[in-house]
Chain A
Amino acid sequence: MSEPVLTISGLNVDYGTGADAVYALRDIDLTLHRGEVLGLAGESGSGKSTLAYAVTRLLSPPGVITGGQVHYHQRDGRALDLLALSAAELRAFRWQELSIVFQGAMNSLNPVYTVHNQLTDVLQAHRPEMKKADRTARARELLSLVGISPDRLGAYPHQLSGGMRQRVMIAMALALEPEIVIMDEPTTALDVVMQRQILRQLVRLREELGFSVVFITHDISLLIEFSDRIAIMYGGRIVEQAGASEIYRDPRHPYSAGLLHSFPALHGPRRELSGIPGSPPHLSSMPSGCAFHPRCAKKVEGCDTHVPVLAAPDADGSRSVACWLHHEAPAPAARA
Chain B
Amino acid sequence: MKFLLQRLAFYLVTAWAAITINFLIPRLMPGDPVQALIARFQGQLDTNAIDSLKALFGLDKKQSLWQQYTDYWAHLFHGDLGLSFTFFPTPVSEVIAQSLPWTLALVGITTLISFLLGTGIGVFTGWRRGSWMDSLLPVTTFISSIPYFWLGLIAISLFAVKWPLFPADGGYDNSLVPAFDWPFISSALYHGVLPGFTIVLSAVAGWILGMRNMMVTVSSEDYVMVAQAKGLSERRVMFGYAARNAILPNISGFALSLGFIVGGTLLVEMVFSYPGIGYQLFQGVGAKDYPLMQGIFLIITLSVLAANLLADILYMLLDPRTRREA
Contact = CB atoms under 8 A, between A and B. Distances in A.
A92 interface: yes
Contacts of A114: 320
Interface in A163-197: 169, 172
A226 interface: no
Contacts of A15: none
B24 interface: no
A285 to B, nearest CB: 26
Interface residues of B, number: 25
A58 to B, nearest CB: 6
A131 interface: no
B233 A125 contact: yes
A247 B257 CA distance: 64
Contact of A107 (B223, B231, B241, B325): B223
B228 A58 contact: yes
B321 A110 contact: no
A156 B321 contact: yes
A204 interface: no
Interface centre among B221, B225, B244, B321 (most CB of A within 10 A): B225
B222 interface: yes
B245 interface: yes
A172 B236 CA distance: 17
B231 A126 contact: yes
A315 interface: no
Given A107-B222, A110-B223, A121-B240, A156 B320 contact: yes
A102 interface: yes
Contact of A158 (B231, B236, B321): B321
Nearest to B231: A94
A96 interface: yes
Nearest to A52: B229
A95 B227 CA distance: 10
Contact of A125 (B231, B245, B318): B231
A93 interface: yes
Interface string A105-136: 10111111110000001100110000000000
Nearest to B220: A60
Interface string A76-111: 000000000001001111111001101111011111
Interface in B223-277: 223, 225-234, 236, 240-241, 244-245
A110 B226 CA distance: 9
Contact of B223 (A87, A108, A159): A108
Contacts of B130: 61
Nearest to B325: A159
A125 to B, nearest CB: 5
Contacts of A87: 234
Contact of B231 (A96, A112, A159): A96
Which bracket fits the contact residues of A? 35 or more
Contacts of A99: 229-230
A210 to B, nearest CB: 21
A236 to B, nearest CB: 21
B230 A95 contact: yes
Residue in A105, A112, A113, A159 whose Cβ sees the most chain B Cβ within 10 Å: A112
B319 interface: yes
A50 interface: no
Given A104-B222, A107-B222, A107-B223, A112 B318 contact: yes
A92 B245 contact: no
A96 B230 CA distance: 8
Given A108-B222, A121-B236, A100 B229 contact: yes
Contacts of B325: 159
Contacts of A60: 220, 225
B145 to A, nearest CB: 30
A102 B222 contact: yes
A82 to B, nearest CB: 13
Q: Which of A91, A93, A126, A159 has the most CB of B within 10 A?
A: A91
A241 interface: no
A126 B225 CA distance: 17
A320 interface: no
B320 A108 contact: no
A166 B295 CA distance: 57
Nearest to A105: B222
A217 interface: no
Contacts of B222: 102-105, 107-108
Interface string B188-226: 000000000000000000000000000000001111011
A56 interface: yes
Contacts of B229: 56, 58, 94-95, 99-100, 102
Closest 10 CB pairs of A and B: A94-B231, A107-B222, A104-B222, A156-B320, A110-B223, A91-B231, A122-B230, A95-B231, A95-B230, A108-B222
25 contacts: A56-B229, A60-B225, A91-B232, A91-B233, A92-B231, A94-B230, A94-B231, A96-B231, A100-B226, A102-B222, A103-B222, A107-B222, A108-B223, A109-B223, A111-B321, A112-B318, A112-B321, A114-B320, A122-B231, A125-B230, A125-B233, A126-B231, A156-B321, A158-B320, A158-B321
Interface of A: 56, 58, 60-61, 87, 90-96, 99-100, 102-105, 107-114, 121-122, 125-126, 156, 158-159, 169, 172
